[in-house]
Amino acid sequence: MARKTREESLAIKHRILDAAELVLLEKGVAQTAMADLAEAAGMSRGAVYGHYRNKMEVCLAMCDRAFARTSEGFDAGEGLPPLATLRRAASHYLQ
């Protein structure tokens, strides 16, 4: 089997994180297992573990992604008044 490209690997990670956001909101961290994340993402547990070693790593990746979205919003608001910059950052994060 051929190795996945960087873009394919990134798309899979996003798929896992998207599923994790939904499952973790519904069940909470303590009640969520990696198997729950795999099922929600429509993947095998092995595929999820191929990208993330454990639930904590998934949670940290979710935080990193949220921070990156917010940071992009602040960068996009450069030169705007402070309130407009905050609105831009919030809007960017929510997208």
Q: What share of the chain is helix, strand, coil (3-state, %, to 5)?
A: 75, 0, 25
pTM for this entry: 0.79
Res 1: pLDDT: 62
CA 67 vs. chain centroid, Å, equals 10
Q: Which residues of 34-66 are buried (b: 16+ CB within 10 A; e: fewer)?
A: bebbbebbebeeeebeebbeebeebbebbeebe
- Superfamily of domain covering 6-94: Tetracycline Repressor, domain 2 (1.10.357.10)
Show Cβ contacts of residue 91 under 8 Å, excluding neighbours closer than 6 positions: 73
Q: Which helix (H) or strand (E) holds 88?
A: helix 82-94
Q: pLDDT tens, position by position, for the chain (95 residues)?
A: 677 799 999 999 999 999 999 999 999 999 999 999 999 999 999 999 999 999 999 999 999 998 888 787 767 767 878 888 778 777 777 77
What does the angle CA 29 – CA 41 – CA 95 come to, to the nearest 5 degrees?
Answer: 80
Domain ranges, ordered by start, for the chain: 6-94
Res 69: pLDDT: 81
